[in-house]
Amino acid sequence: MEHAVFGERQAGQFVFKATKGPKFGFWPHLDESVVSTRIDEFLVMRPATPWQYLRRLVLLDSLYIDLNCLQGFTMLDGCFSIITSQPWYNARNATWKEIKLWMTSRGFIPVRSDVYDDPTRWYQPEHNLALFDVGESNMVVSEGEIVPIDIIPMQPDGPLLDFLSDFAEKHAS
């Protein structure tokens, strides 16, 4: 877990999240040294930098306004830490059916090989927005609305953008 969570975990209240240790979550990377036609083999998750973590917060806000708020920076257990706040939701995990409907209604296409039935990676070509780690535990339903609480958004560039653009073109409906 990349965060320490502080505060009352009650609906309508805010919790504070502090990154732990030198961890700032993960960031997708296309490993060009792997020769494969399966995305699962050449797309890897690497530790994120503080800049990538902050970029992730900005992009999450484009999907769901006011989801996270940057509160500041501190030293926690001797390590640099980013402090954010997030509303606590009285929620349940979203189902795959709900996730797929939410994603496709926003113009995302699933990016996957045929290994998995339920895609955890999505791409929206119009805004060059890729989402990773999309799953039932990272998307919740609160008061009938899906909230993407812990997904990894990015605007790819370089080889990953080339791959996703080609993928989107080949799989456009």
Arithmetic mean of pLDDT over the chain:
88
pLDDT tens digits, residue range 119-129? 889 999 999 99
pLDDT of the residue at 41 = 72
pLDDT tens digits, residue range 57-98? 999 998 888 899 999 999 998 999 999 999 998 899 999 999
Sign of CA dihedral 41, 160, 28, 47: positive
Q: How far apart are CA 109 and CA 125, in angstroms?
A: 9
pTM of the model: 0.89
> Do the strands 109-110 and 139-142 form a parallel or antiparallel pair, or are they unpaired?
unpaired
